[in-house]
Amino acid sequence: MSLDLFSAFIIGLLGSGHCLAMCGGITTMLTSAINKPGNQNQSRTSSLGDIPTSQQSTCSPVAFSLNLVLFYHVGRIASYCLIGAIVGFTGSIAAKNIGLPIAALRLIAAVFVILLGLYIGQWLLWLNRIESLGKGLWRYLSPMAKHVIPVDNSKKALGLGALWGWLPCGLVYSTLTWALASGSPLTGATIMLCFGLGTLPALVALSLGIGGIKKLLVNTAFRKVMAISLIGYGIYSFIVAYQLTF
């Protein structure tokens, strides 16, 4: 189990460049909108509506915007955990009722890590087809965003994060195969928790205005190295799972 958790964290960490495209815009919005000229006074009144009056006078716009980012990521990772629990439960049902070996599910998970590496390296984009499977559900969920935008308090930030966690994403789906192979709702949720934590460094660095992190993650050479690392890890995982299966 510890290896699965470490694997999920590494997948999140190595795939962070993809996260910048999916979630980076929202993270930037949450940190920059409060700090626009002319908005600072407003942010201390209407935008701080969910913070006790005694704290509003001491809460700077920067601190409040970072508060929004924190709640957004809590909501996002919470959704990952929920999905992981559902998928882990599905894996346990498949193992018990259908007799599908957990080791076979690990083979599938390893293949998806390899596909993820090919996807990030932009050598083979089959995961785009996997992402399309979630678009049907997303069409029903995305209209709910109107209830949390504009994001002017922590509850809305939490809601937006919880909603955004269901956005069709090849990186998330690849990691969910590890949750499926866990055969346990609790382990599945924990795997997705570790994955979410792995995506945090890049997104938090972006929130703090550390532009060098973004430049590094979107750099073509760095992305290729990360992609090759994922492919190598996927091949290793496949070999281990194959030995356990056969």
Q: How many domains are contained in the chain? A: 1
Is 225 domain-assigned?
Answer: yes
Q: How large is the average pLDDT for residues 227-231? A: 90
Is 40 domain-assigned?
Answer: no
For residue 112, CA distances in Å to 2, 51, 116, 145, 174 come to: 19, 43, 6, 30, 5
Query: pLDDT value at position 138?
Result: 85
**DSSP track, 154-181:** HHHHHHHHHHHTTS--HHHHHHHHHHHH
- Contact (CB, 8 A) for 112 and 173: yes
Supply the range of the domain harboring residue 207.
2-35+62-245
Q: Is 58 helix (H, G, I), strand (E, B) or coil?
A: coil
- What one-character DSSP code corresponds to residue 183? T
Is 135 domain-assigned?
Answer: yes
Query: pLDDT value at position 60?
Result: 65
Q: How large is the average pLDDT for residues 152-169? A: 90
Average pLDDT of the chain, as a whole number? 80
Query: pLDDT value at position 54?
Result: 41
Is 47 domain-assigned?
Answer: no
Is 49 domain-assigned?
Answer: no
Is 45 domain-assigned?
Answer: no
Of 47 and 68, which is predicted with more confidence? Answer: 68
Nearest C-alpha neighbor of 237 from the set 117, 92, 108, 124 = 108
Question: Residue 191 has which token pair?
Answer: 């795997």
- Contact (CB, 8 A) for 201 and 23: no
Q: What angle do CA 104, 110, 113 make, to 5 degrees?
A: 150
Query: pLDDT value at position 205?
Result: 77
CA distance 162 to 77: 7
Q: How large is the average pLDDT for residues 115-139? A: 86
Q: Quick check: bond before 201 cis, omega within 30? A: no
Nearest C-alpha neighbor of 191 from the set 91, 96, 95 = 91
Is 46 domain-assigned?
Answer: no
CA distance 134 to 128: 10
What is the per-residue pLDDT across 1-54, written as a single tens digit (0 to 9) for each?
566 788 889 888 877 776 666 666 666 666 654 444 444 444 443 333 444 434
The one-letter amino acid code at 5 reads: L
State the pLDDT confidence band at 148, using cuts at 50, 70 and 90: confident
Question: pTM for the whole thing?
Answer: 0.81
CA distance 28 to 72: 12
Is 166 domain-assigned?
Answer: yes
Query: pLDDT value at position 166?
Result: 92
**DSSP track, 31-59:** HHGGGSTT-HHHHHHTTTTTS-HHHHTT-
Neighbours of 152 (CB within 10 A): 20
What is the per-residue pLDDT across 70-123, written as a single tens digit (0 to 9) for each?
999 999 999 999 999 999 999 888 777 776 777 788 898 899 999 989 988 889
